[in-house]
Structure 1
């Protein structure tokens, strides 16, 4: 009950921000203090040229003087995102490159193209997400939601990590990786978290597949944070829950939206009338800028300097599930994923 009240009221947490804070608000003090020539990669789905957390994240980072690289499957819509940002901020440097996060070959090609630009890489925001209503498979023959949300971002991160470590070493500026996850990861039970079944499920449940992919994002975060500490790399990685956001993609997430709303609504059913529930439900939905705030906060805030392997919601550190905190399961997932990638691409990944 207490958490729901804080969420509805937008009460600030330890960071000074809460559920109602916008991406502009949480970064407004950083334009003058940020290191010059920062470069960020923000993956976007480009479902709409002016909507989406990824587009808003790119806009706000560009507004704060960060060079932004937008990898996207739909270059036309990504170009519109670039146009919209530069219309508001003519000096913004935006680079659009093609990528299909469901394709290992496309991800490898993107990384080759990006690295050929010979620019630094300070921030990597693995934001793009997919919710496949029916069972579909990627060109690599993996379930589409898992392939996009987890496998694609895993490979992208692996292929760019050395560049991030090198940039941090040369500039002295800490590299930051942000994995956009979801509170829905808490719905996954250990018995349902099987790597092979997630790759090629026999019985498909769209919401479960989405939840599993988001749990995998957090496990990736936890494991990679440990690895970066072990080699004393100046790179942090954290996971964030953006909240339930009012974007076009909400139509594809009806099962998730209903369930997440019910988690809050059930708490207040005993004290609220039927009509009040609809009012509360509407208040639980965030604007796009509110949804992008936690990502931008973790990516830019001086308060998150040195913080790694954590999970954030509403711009504050939050608790994730016991399974998400299981180090052995996270390491097992990383080993399985790495072996799969090597088998398919025959590329030499990090030791």
Structure 2
């Protein structure tokens, strides 16, 4: 068994396992009729997810804290996938106003939304408060995505009704919650600058 509790490389009921790549999973899929939003697509798992969705023909929206950082990723992905349909929009998940602004702009400029992948997250950063006065990890990892999903839900419902294609909301998770002490966390101490408060604000997204 691996240190996180699963046998390394073992395939699950889906036929895929930890050794499977995004291209393996998406092989043979035509996503040219789909529009997807991938948060955290400027690097890591999110960038790879956006790349493979673009490779399969999807219209991919990349929210980024700054348009500059988003455009750099778009250019990088376009070099790998010349036929890609990538669109960069500004959004800072730690700011509720920024999330509302993004959702409003998206809903007014895009007719459909089929897939929302909530991937972005920060971890183990120094204690900080967001613009809204909320502990930064909790604001980014949980509240930002919660608000974003709710603001886009009607668009996803109308898309499914108009196109007959069922939408998907994917929340990326971690097994890090298994390492908690099981006591949960105190919402009244959410902005407490203690290590435990910071850890629990991270784990709430992953639990």
Shared topology, TM-score over 0.5? yes
Out of 33, 38, 63, the position equivalent to 2:34 is 38
Sort the Cα spacing of 1:45 and 1:137 in 2 relative to 1 into closer, same or farther, 3 A: farther
Write out aligned runs for 1:212-227 (5 A). 212-215=204-207
Sort the Cα spacing of 1:2 and 1:42 in 2 relative to 1 into closer, same or farther, 3 A: closer
Shift in Å, 1:37: 2.2
Partner of 2:28: 29
Partner of 1:144: 136
What are the Cα deviations for residues 196-228 of structure 1, in whole angstroms up to 9, with x where unaligned?
Answer: 323x2252344443223322xxxxxxxxxxxxx
Partner of 1:65: 57
How far, CA to CA, are the matches of 2:168 and 2:110 in structure 1? 19
Out of 162, 165, 180, the position equivalent to 1:170 is 162
How far, CA to CA, are the matches of 1:85 and 1:119 in structure 2? 24
How far, CA to CA, are the matches of 1:141 and 1:85 in structure 2? 35
Write out aligned runs for 1:254-265 (5 A). none
Secondary structure of 1:192's aligned partner: coil
How far, CA to CA, are the matches of 1:69 and 1:118 in structure 2? 10
RCO comparison, higher one (Cα < 8 Å, 6+): 1
Q: Is the 8 A contact 1:103 1:140 kept in 2?
A: yes
Sort the Cα spacing of 1:119 and 1:135 in 2 relative to 1 into closer, same or farther, 3 A: same
Partner of 1:116: 108
What are the Cα deviations for residues 315-341 of structure 1, in whole angstroms up to 9, with x where unaligned?
Answer: xxxxxxxxxxxxxxxxxxxxxxxxxxx
Partner of 1:7: 7
Larger Rg: 1
Where in structure 2 are there 5+ consecutive unaligned residues?
A: none
Secondary structure of 2:183's aligned partner: helix
* Aligned residues between the structures: 206
Where in structure 1 are there 5+ consecutive unaligned residues?
A: 216-351
Out of 204, 229, 232, the position equivalent to 2:195 is 204
Shift in Å, 1:84: 1.6
TM-score, length of structure 1 as denominator length: 0.55
TM-score, length of structure 2 as denominator length: 0.91
Which protein is richer in helix relative to its size?
1
Secondary structure of 1:96's aligned partner: strand
